[in-house]
């Protein structure tokens, strides 16, 4: 299957990064190479672009797609959270810009055998790194009922998490759950009929929760954002992050606000005792969202929010 993906908020991201032709940039979530391609076009032979992805399909596709650009390109089969190790390995002290698109690529969703989609039947997988030991089948069949309930509640904000977890455990006692369609049927059966017809597919929140668990998407995200701003960026460098659900957006927003605050004392204290000073400035206090034109072309952009900061 061809690696197809429509990059969300593409123009807004490129504008936000204020790309210097000889600068050094990170695309922490390479995917189909849409954002990287536009960054690379703006770099000359002295510029450097470091690209991260856990998906070898993405790395193979993008390395071929971008091969004609003249800038220095580094492809890292790694999580962007390990950016410091990759920069150190390549003797890069700091970068001029970092972009993170925290969404799942259209290729992954539209490839049934990757197991991300609740709309097509496929193997229950959801691992972005195809060599990873943990996948959705392991989570669904081997996690305790209480753990499943917690994941569905905390990562999917699913109000029927208890009944869904109970239904999964009952089903797996009869047979191992191995496909996305099996899981969709179980979820649907555990949700009251009235609740199945509303905002989105009834399995959407549970699939999101399992995907987050399998890939550790929220684990260490706050610490990574803080480290990228403090240790990754050069002075004047920019960090742009696209989020797609409230959990990750809340983490990014809180990290950005902490970095931009002159005081982080308890508000009840009469005077400041922390001596904290702002390390960044927020380029947009409210998140940038997709235009109506983009939404008409890409329905998956509806929940996208872009936040940008600049290191002082």
**Binning pLDDT at 50, 70 and 90, where does residue 271 land?**
confident
CA distance 32 to 148: 32
**Binning pLDDT at 50, 70 and 90, where does residue 193 land?**
confident
DSSP H or E stretch at residue 163: helix 161-172
What domain range is 128 assigned to? Answer: 118-215
Same domain? 195 vs 274: no
DSSP H or E stretch at residue 76: strand 72-76
Predicted TM-score (pTM) of this structure: 0.92
Condensed to tens digits (0 to 9), the pLDDT of residues 121-149 reads 999 999 999 889 999 999 999 999 999 99
Per-residue pLDDT at 3: 59
* CATH code (residue 46): 3.40.50.150
Same domain? 138 vs 92: no
Asked whether residue 244 carries a pLDDT value surpassing 60, the answer given is yes
Per the domain annotation, does 160 fall within a domain?
A: yes
**How many folded domains does the chain comprise?**
2
**CB distance 82 to 129 below 8 Å:** no
Same domain? 209 vs 122: yes
Asked whether residue 247 carries a pLDDT value surpassing 90, the answer given is yes
Per the domain annotation, does 177 fall within a domain?
A: yes
Same domain? 130 vs 184: yes
Condensed to tens digits (0 to 9), the pLDDT of residues 248-270 reads 999 999 999 999 998 888 778 88
Per-residue pLDDT at 5: 65
| Domain edge (last residue) among 162, 193, 215 | 215
| Domain edge (last residue) among 215, 235, 251 | 215
Per the domain annotation, does 33 fall within a domain?
A: yes
Does 133 or 106 have the greater pLDDT score? 133
Per the domain annotation, does 111 fall within a domain?
A: no
52: β partners:
76
CA distance 190 to 202: 10
Asked whether residue 1 carries a pLDDT value surpassing 60, the answer given is no
Q: Tell me the average pLDDT across 81-97.
A: 97
- Token readout for 261 is 């605050």
């Amino acid at each position: 299957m061809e690696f197809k993906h429509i990059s969300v908020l593409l123009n807004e991201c490129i504008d936000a990064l204020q790309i210097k032709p000889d600068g050094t940039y990170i695309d922490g979530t390479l995917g189909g190479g849409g954002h990287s391609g536009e960054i690379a076009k703006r770099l000359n032979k002295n510029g450097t672009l470091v690209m991260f992805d856990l998906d070898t399909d993405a790395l193979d596709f993008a390395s071929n797609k971008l091969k004609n650009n003249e800038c220095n390109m580094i492809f890292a089969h790694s999580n962007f959270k390990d950016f410091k190790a990759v920069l150190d390995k390549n003797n890069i002290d700091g970068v001029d810009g970092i972009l993170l698109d925290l969404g799942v690529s259209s290729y992954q969703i539209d490839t049934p055998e990757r197991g991300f989609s609740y709309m097509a039947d496929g193997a229950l997988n959801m691992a972005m790194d195809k060599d990873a030991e943990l996948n959705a089948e392991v989570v669904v069949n081997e996690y305790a009922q209480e753990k499943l309930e917690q994941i569905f509640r905390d990562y999917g904000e699913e109000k029927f998490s208890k009944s869904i977890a109970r239904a999964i455990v009952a089903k797996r006692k009869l047979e191992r759950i191995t496909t996305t369609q099996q899981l969709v049927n179980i979820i649907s059966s555990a949700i009251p009929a009235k609740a199945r017809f509303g905002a989105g597919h009834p399995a959407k929140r549970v699939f999101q929760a399992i995907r987050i668990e399998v890939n550790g998407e929220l684990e260490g995200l706050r610490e990574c954002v803080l480290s990228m701003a403090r240790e990754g960026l050069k002075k004047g460098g920019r960090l742009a992050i696209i989020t797609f659900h409230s959990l990750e957006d809340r983490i990014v927003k809180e990290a950005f606000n902490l970095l931009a605050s002159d005081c982080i004392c308890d508000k009840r204290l009469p005077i400041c005792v922390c001596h904290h000073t702002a390390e960044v400035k927020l380029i947009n206090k409210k998140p940038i969202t997709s235009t109506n034109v983009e939404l008409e072309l890409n329905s998956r952009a509806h929940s996208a929010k872009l936040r940008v900061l600049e290191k002082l």
